[in-house]
Amino acid sequence: MSDVTRILSAIEQGDPFAAGELLPLVYDELRKLAAERMGQENPGHTASNPDNFKFIRNLSTLFFAADDGTRGREPWQLPV
């Protein structure tokens, strides 16, 4: 059983601390996805520092803020 599966199971069972364990795992993955997207926009730029993640389930889209190395910090979106 993966950590995410175990934590989701704990959340379903009412563990009040499980959500706090899930966030760091998910956040790291979101940063990786966003950094990959930023690397495609401006190859070689590594300081995008994506953050402020928001997921809109109805749109299946991840929104975040990042710096592409050209225009400065601005909002981005990534279909997932």
Distance of CA 45 to the CA centre of its chain: 19
> Helices marked H in the chain — which ranges?
3-12, 18-41
Six-digit token pair at 71? 């225009």
In which residue ranges of the chain is pLDDT below 50?
none
The pLDDT value given to residue 12:
87
Residue 68 CB coordination number (10 Å): 17
Please count the structural domains in the chain: 1
Question: Hunting for tokens 């990786």 — which residue is that?
Answer: 32
The pLDDT value given to residue 57:
66
Structural domain harbouring 12: 3-79
